[in-house]
Amino acid sequence: MNKNLEMGEFLRSRRARLTPAQAGMPDTTRRRVPGLRREELAHLAGVSSDYYTRLEQGRARTASPPVLDALARALRLDDTERAHLFDLATPDPPPPRSHPPRPQRVRRATYQLLDAVDRAFCPAFVLGRRTDVLAANRLAEALIADFDALPARERNLARFVFLDDHARDLYADWGTVASDTAAMLRMDAGRHPDDPLLNELVGELSVHSDCFRRHWAERNVYEHTDGAKSYHHPVVGKVTVSYQAMALPSEEDQILCIYTTEPGSASETALRLLASWTNSPVDVPEGTARRSGRQLPSGAGREYGSAIIETDPDRRLSWL
């Protein structure tokens, strides 16, 4: 990925969404597009029109932190977008080594933490680079998908969201989830522009998902921090959770996501019921899935019991 060109495209996309009224400028002329003109944005940022044009065209070799700050203010970037702009403006890293990047590892203490919150009826999982699902507790796998049953390459949230048809049924607001997931990958691309596995993933999603191509072209960025999600689970019905996403201090590019529910709510009851089924055969409603008889896999530091996985052969993921 050419970071100069990527920064230019990002600046262009943010300028196009900013109207003169939002920028506090009079709009007295007819416009072919709603966004600001280059010279208007350059004036707001206090740089020359020629220099800003070269930035958008990817022809400027560097941009100093004060210039980036001025552009961020002029474009009214939020904290996540500002961080992405600075990522794109950093010098290109050395060429990648010939061998593939080392896989990320999850510490034993993190597995123990996942187990601890599982006993509190809280789904939790660890996301790595490229939205790879590095680890998950039993309740997260019961609620979302059994990523442990997949080959390592397939344990990826973006692949699930965009390429697995069941994700559209699972997420109550799949469109928002899809948009946020693409924006998470875009943020990761700014931090690791030469990651061959990320480039491969983006290529795969672009080929197989029209929705991903559309969201990727929007160049939005998103940081997974906190919020709410609703699921339409095939067994326990609607589940609404609040989530917190925290960077693990001892590991680079690992995010711990923990889901909680309102005490006494129907969603809490649903998760407790789902948790009880992770240690016993699951009675899935007729037509939801077919019985496979396969046992849950064992993970590092985890006891998965003897739950029977219900598997739909037409889906890429297995459900508890």
Q: Please write the tens of the pLDDT for every residue from 71-123.
A: 999 999 999 999 999 999 887 666 555 566 678 899 999 999 999 999 999 99
Query: Is the domain of 287 the same as that of 143?
Result: yes
Establish if 299 belongs to a structural domain: yes
pLDDT (tens digit per residue) in 202-228? 999 999 999 999 999 999 998 878 999
User: What does each C-alpha distance from 235 to 143, 174, 283 come to in angstroms?
Assistant: 9, 18, 8
Q: Are residues 255 and 289 in the same domain?
A: yes
Examine the pLDDT at 232 and tell me if it is beyond 90: yes
How large is the average pLDDT for residues 47-69?
Answer: 88
Structural domain containing residue 190: 108-311
The per-residue pLDDT for range 135-149, each reduced to its tens digit, is: 999 999 999 999 989
CATH classification of the domain holding 205: 3.30.450.180
The CATH number of residue 81's host domain is: 1.10.260.40
DSSP secondary structure, 128-140, as one string: -GGGBEEEE-HHH
Whether residues 84 and 120 share a domain: the answer is no
Is residue 284 pLDDT above 50, yes or no? no
Pair (156, 244) in one structural domain: yes
DSSP secondary structure letter of residue 243: E
Residues 73 and 114 in one domain: no
Indicate whether 298 pLDDT > 70: no
Residues 84 and 125 in one domain: no
What is the structure's pLDDT at 97? Answer: 58
Same domain flag for 19 and 151 = no
pLDDT at 234 over 60: yes
Q: Which residues, including other chains, have CB under 8 Å from residue 302's CB and lie 6 or more apart?
A: 111, 114, 115, 137, 138
pLDDT at 37 over 50: yes
